[in-house]
Amino acid sequence: MINVTVFRKNNQISGFELSGHADSGPYGYDLVCAGVSAVSFGAVNAVMEMTGVELVIDQGAEGGYLQVIIPATITTEQMGTVQLLFEGMIISLEAIVREYHQFIEIHNNEGGTPNATS
């Protein structure tokens, strides 16, 4: 099961964490894992490319883990773009949940952002 936790502070995304494996198919043919990876890495890459924001990223060496934290030191303009892109990511992940809910769950945490583990 892939667990997605979206961290929010003051109604804004402050970070997110993905953990686990979908195991919806054999290695190399797991469509849920591929979809979640494409959506999340695409959003992270878009944020960094379009805003220049240096996100705090921690990845598991064997896959199955990604934590992204938005730094508090970004401008209001950058934050607006970051929020738009990550909200789009969440909408895409929710579409995956609707079709494959047995393999992925999304949780919201209104308590802010976890400490970076790296």
Q: Which candidate, 23, 110, 13, places its Cα nearest to that of 69?
A: 13
pLDDT in tens, 33-55: 999 999 999 999 999 999 999 99
- The continuous run of DSSP H or E covering 18 comes out as strand 12-19
| 49 falls within a domain | yes
Which member of 8, 20, 21, 30 is catalytic?
Answer: 21
pTM over 0.85: yes
3-state class of 104 per DSSP? strand
The answer to whether position 114 is within a domain reads no
Angle at 13 between CA 80 and CA 108, to 5 degrees: 150
- Counted domains in the chain: 1
Residue 21 annotated in active site: yes
Active site residue 33: yes
Residue 44, domain member (yes or no): yes
Domain assignment of residue 83, given as a range:
2-109
Q: What tokens were used for 69?
A: 């934290």
| Residues forming beta bridges with residue 57, ordered by sequence position | 68
Whether 56 is covered by a domain: the verdict is yes
pLDDT digits (tens, 9 = 90+) for 89-98: 999 999 999 9
Mean pLDDT of 10-27: 93
* Cβ atoms within 10 Å, residue 80: 13
Query: Per-residue pLDDT for 27 more than 90?
Result: no
Q: CATH number of the domain at 55, please.
A: 3.30.70.1490
Any domain includes 117 = no
Query: Which is the catalytic residue, given 33, 69, 82, 85?
Result: 33
Entry field: residues in the chain:
118
* Closest by CA position to 11, among listed 106, 92, 109: 109
